[in-house]
């Protein structure tokens, strides 16, 4: 029997979505969004404007036909589960469009940018390694096998940047390699307020006129936020729009006068072919894991009862021991490192048993 876990509900759902079993069909549509607004922090000043901003962006995306997952004051575990769930939705759609919006605090540690959930208690800088979420994971989900990906991080620095100090977001965005159709937009806001942030206001205006050309929208937001927030943008729309244009109707065939033919009896209606199951996510070699891949492995180990540590994307001794227990159960060499096949089987949530 599986051991209880505080992440059992959300991670059970995301593992079922990524497993690709016949009982779980792909969700309708091909536009998905994750909107996060962190407002009521336990150990940091509140950011009421972030909850307002999330509501504004969520409403705009729903009006464009997106399936929106919107969370306010989400915990580390809830945000991790939502990211994995979003990755599963994208994998189940042929050409998905993904938008991710986060508003809250960010911490720059060891030249890496981390996003801070509301329950975080950062008594020393290194605490963000276990209590924060790497900003890179938000970019990885939006860029993986998507037609269009738009990663938007609307942040407040903690501690605040000193005058003249280079913004951490500029270093984070510089050097990001993106495919056409993936836009990265990271803002460093200044004064907190009770209204939507400058970036959220500019985004809402850019999303008001579909189909929303990506390059035009990015240029408009950059211009509108000048002087109100520090904004770093990377990537190119490559001529794509947030909404796919409707296909052109085929030209009508020429009218040819023919003699009427006898009407045959109606044929039996054709049987619609069964829809194929959504494909399972194939895991790469462990050296090529992204942050989301590592969290997915930890979540699956925890779901199956091999691991009871934090789902933080760090493969420490507890994670390696859990992998060896899993390998022992399936009859694989107990190396502590998963092969691509064993990792794919693990995250698919397959039953335990010898190979």
Does pLDDT of 281 surpass 80? no
What average pLDDT score do residues 173-190 get? 91
Does pLDDT of 195 surpass 50? yes
* Overall pTM > 0.85: no
In whole angstroms, give the CA distance from residue 271 to residue 125. Answer: 61
Residue 180, φ and ψ in degrees, nearest 5: -55, 135
In whole angstroms, give the CA distance from residue 144 to residue 146. Answer: 6
* 153 membership: H or E segment, kind and range: strand 148-157
Q: For all residues of the chain together, what is the average pLDDT?
A: 83
pLDDT tens-place string over residues 149-164: 999 999 999 888 666 5
pLDDT tens-place string over residues 283-311: 899 888 898 988 999 899 988 988 888 89
Q: With cut-offs at 50, 70 and 90, classify the pLDDT of residue 315.
A: confident
One of 1.10.101, 1.20.140, 3.40.50, 1.10.8 is the CATH number of 286-347, namely 1.10.101
Dihedral sign computed on CA atoms, order 153, 158, 162, 163:
positive
Does pLDDT of 45 surpass 50? yes
What average pLDDT score do residues 218-230 get? 94
In whole angstroms, give the CA distance from residue 154 to residue 50. Answer: 8
What average pLDDT score do residues 14-40 get? 61
The confidence score (pLDDT) of residue 21 equals 29
Does pLDDT of 317 surpass 60? yes
Does pLDDT of 248 surpass 80? no
* 154 membership: H or E segment, kind and range: strand 148-157
Does the domain at residues 21-236 carry the CATH identifier 3.40.50.1460?
yes
What contacts 212, CB < 8 A, 6 or more positions away? 64, 206, 241, 242, 243
The confidence score (pLDDT) of residue 298 equals 87
- The ranges assigned to domains in the chain are 21-236, 286-347
What average pLDDT score do residues 209-236 get? 93
């Amino acid at each position: 029997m599986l051991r209880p876990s505080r992440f059992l509900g959300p991670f059970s759902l995301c593992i079922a979505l990524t497993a690709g079993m016949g009982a779980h069909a792909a969700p309708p549509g091909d536009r998905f969004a994750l909107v996060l607004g962190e407002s009521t922090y336990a150990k940091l000043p509140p950011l009421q404007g972030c909850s307002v901003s999330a509501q504004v962006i969520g409403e705009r995306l729903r009006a464009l036909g997106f399936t929106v997952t919107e969370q306010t004051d989400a915990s580390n575990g809830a945000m991790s589960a939502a990211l994995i769930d979003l990755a599963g939705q994208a994998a189940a759609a042929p050409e998905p469009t993904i938008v991710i919006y986060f508003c809250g605090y960010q911490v720059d540690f060891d030249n890496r940018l981390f996003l801070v959930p509301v329950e975080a208690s950062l008594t020393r800088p290194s605490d963000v390694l276990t209590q924060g979420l790497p900003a890179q994971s938000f970019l990885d989900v939006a860029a993986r096998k998507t037609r269009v990906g738009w990663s938007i991080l609307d942040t407040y620095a903690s501690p605040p940047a000193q005058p003249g100090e280079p913004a951490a977001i500029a270093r984070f965005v510089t050097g990001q390699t993106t495919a056409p159709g993936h836009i990265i937009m990271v803002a460093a806001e200044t004064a907190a307020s009770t209204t939507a942030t400058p970036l959220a206001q500019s985004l809402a205006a850019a999303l008001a006129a579909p189909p929303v050309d990506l390059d035009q929208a990015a240029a408009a937001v950059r211009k509108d936020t000048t002087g109100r927030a520090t904004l770093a943008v990377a990537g190119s729309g490559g001529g794509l729009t947030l909404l796919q244009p409707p296909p052109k109707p085929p030209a009508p065939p020429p009218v040819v006068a023919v003699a009427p033919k006898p009407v045959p009896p109606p044929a039996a209606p054709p049987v619609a072919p069964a829809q194929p199951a959504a494909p399972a996510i194939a895991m790469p070699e462990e050296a090529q894991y992204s942050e989301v891949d590592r969290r997915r492995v930890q979540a699956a180990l925890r779901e199956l009862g091999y691991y009871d540590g934090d789902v933080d994307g760090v493969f420490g001794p507890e994670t390696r021991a859990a992998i060896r227990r899993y390998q022992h159960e399936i009859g694989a060499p107990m190396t502590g490192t998963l092969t691509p096949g064993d990792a794919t089987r693990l995250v698919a949530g397959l039953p335990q048993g010898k190979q």
